[in-house]
Structures are given as structure tokens and as C-alpha cells.
Amino acid sequence: MIMNIILILAGMFMDAVPFVLLLTPLFMPIFQQMGYSPIHLGMLMTVSGALGMYSPPFGLNIFVGMGVFKESFSTIARAVVPFVFLGILSMLLITYIPQLSLWLPALMRG
């Protein structure tokens, strides 16, 4: 759970590529020692990075939305709130039910 919070906070301040390049080497050894799949870490990083990109108050995509739609910060932030809750729900589901993110890779491996 602490890792999820760190990933979301990092996603608020960084774009996707530096986010993955900087945090994967930090979290991969910890994640593997805990016995989790690297694919599961990749899914968590993807979802948390996306969630951080549109989470108020520092989500980068909120500022993009302000420029595109010519709306105020508060208008865009209010419009994003339902998506933030859905993102948190999906992140919690992927965190605590790893089979949700691992069933397709397992199916492809045979």
C-alpha cells in the first residue's frame, strides 16, 4: 500500500517515461523479494502512473486540460474526480487480486 502511494505521488510530478525509468530499478528488487511477478509490478506502475497524471492537485494532464478546454483548474479538477476514484479502485483491485492483471500473460504462456 505504501508503494502504491509513492507511485501515485511520483506520477503526479513526472511524465510516464522518466517515471518508469527511475522507479523500476528501485522497486523491482523489493517486489521480487516479496515473491511477486515483474508483470504485476509493471501493471501497478502503469495504473499508478496514469492515476498520478490526472490526480489533483499536481496531475500534469489537468494542466493540459486547462489549456485545451480553456477552463479553470477547479472546473477540470471537479470533472476528474470520478475518474480518480475509479483509478484508485482499479489500483486496489490489481494490488490485492494479482490474478486480475496476470491471467492474460499466464494464458499466453500456455
Q: Give tens-digit pLDDT for 25-53.
A: 999 999 999 998 999 999 999 998 889 88
Could you give the number of structural domains in the chain?
Answer: 1
Q: How confident is the model at residue 3 (pLDDT cuts 50, 70, 90)?
A: confident
Share of the chain above pLDDT 70, in %: 100
Q: Would you state the torsion angle of the CA atoms of residues 81, 82, 87, 92, taken in this order, to the nearest 10 degrees? A: 100
User: What is the span of the domain harbouring residue 103?
Assistant: 2-109
For the whole model, what pTM was predicted? Answer: 0.82
Answer yes or no: is pLDDT of 110 > 90.
no
Q: How confident is the model at residue 104 (pLDDT cuts 50, 70, 90)?
A: very high
Residue pair 38/89 in contact (Cβ under 8 Å)? The answer is no
